[in-house]
């Protein structure tokens, strides 16, 4: 069972940031539960084999006021993938800092090391106002402007700043096969 933790604050964001990820699961016959972070408790975490934390819109920063609701990230050793705001959250939970950097649209990023099946140059879809820096993570990819892909030094916790559900759907499948 995959848990998709929704970081959106408005209903209308669901169709843009959550459903495309759910569709990838459905197309690949992957069993999942998709739940807003406010409703995630011990029971939901216990049932999950892997967890994906979604992104949200450029103007939606509600999740930043509720970082304490993501303490479960540190309390278990399950594979976790944070996408965009999800990456901000995993970085912040591990004492990282948010820095301002906006990128919108198709952007080239460069992998230093193989990351969830991707290496060298990749075109990705960006939609963010911030990136996160934390010394608990190794950096795997960067754009010309900022960090794009990270993995925790000791845990199976991954983060991507771009939106793989748009142009790099296989990254999500590869994470499920880690």
Partner 1 sequence: MKCAVLFSGGKDSAFAAYLVKKIGYDISCLISVISENPESYMFHTPSITKVKKQSTVMNIPLLTQKTKGKKEEELKDLENAIYKAKKEFNIDSVVTGSIESAYQASRIQKICVSQKVECFNPLWQKDQFELLNDLIKYNFKIVIIGVFAYPLDRSWLGREINQKFIKDISTLYHEYKINPAGEGGEFETFVLNCPLFSNELKISDFKILGKKYSWKMEIELT
Which 3 state secondary structure label does DSSP give 170?
helix
Task: Convert residues 19-58 into a mask of x (bound to partner 1 by CB under 8 A) and - (unbound).
Answer: xx--x---------------------------------xx
Q: x/- binding map, residues 119-138, to partner 1, per CB under 8 A? A: ------x-x-----------
Burial of 88 (0-12, 13-18, 19+ CB in 10 A): buried
Active site (annotated) includes residue 128: no
- 3-class SS of residue 76: coil
Q: Rounded CA gap, 170 and 173, in Å?
A: 5
The catalytic residue among 84, 103, 126, 146 is 84
**Whether 176 contacts 50, CB under 8 Å:** yes
55 vs 96, which CB is nearer to partner 1? 55
Q: Which is nearer to partner 1, 76 or 107 (CB)?
A: 107
Find the shortest distance in angstroms from Cβ 125 to partner 1: 6
Say how far apart CA 49 and CA 176 lie, in whole Å.
9
Binding residue (CB under 8 A) for partner 1 from 59, 74, 108, 112? 59
Which window, 13-21, 29-37, 75-83, 110-118, contacts partner 1 (CB under 8 A)? 13-21
Give yes or no: 163 in active site: yes
List the interface residues with partner 1, window 85-114 (CB under 8 A): 102, 104-106
DSSP state of 87: H
Sheet containing strand 32-36, strands side by side: 32-36, 2-6, 50-53, 80-83, 157-160, 147-152, 137-142, 97-115, 118-133
How far apart are alpha carbons 12 and 55 in whole angstroms?
A: 14
CB of 106 to partner 1, least distance (A): 5
Minimal distance, residue 107 CB to partner 1, in Å: 9
Which residues in this chain contact partner 1 in the complex, by CB under 8 A? 10-13, 15-16, 19-20, 23, 57-60, 102, 104-106, 125, 127, 165-167
């Amino acid at each position: 069972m995959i848990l998709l933790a929704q970081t959106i604050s408005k209903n209308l964001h669901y169709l843009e940031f959550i459903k495309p990820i759910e569709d990838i699961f459905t197309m690949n016959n992957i069993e999942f539960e998709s739940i807003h972070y406010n409703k995630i408790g011990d029971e939901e975490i216990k049932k999950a084999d892997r967890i994906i934390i979604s992104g949200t819109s450029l103007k939606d920063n509600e999740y930043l006021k509720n970082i304490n609701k993501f303490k479960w990230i540190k309390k278990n050793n399950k594979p976790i993938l944070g996408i965009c705001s999800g990456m901000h959250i995993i970085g912040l939970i591990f004492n990282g800092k948010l820095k301002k950097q906006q990128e919108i649209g198709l952007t080239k990023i460069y992998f230093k090391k193989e990351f969830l099946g991707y290496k060298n140059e990749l075109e990705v879809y960006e939609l963010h106002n911030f990136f996160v820096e934390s010394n608990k993570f190794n950096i795997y990819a960067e754009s010309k402007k900022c960090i794009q892909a990270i993995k925790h030094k000791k845990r199976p916790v991954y983060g991507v700043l771009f939106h793989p559900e748009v142009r790099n759907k296989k990254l999500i499948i590869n994470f499920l096969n880690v």
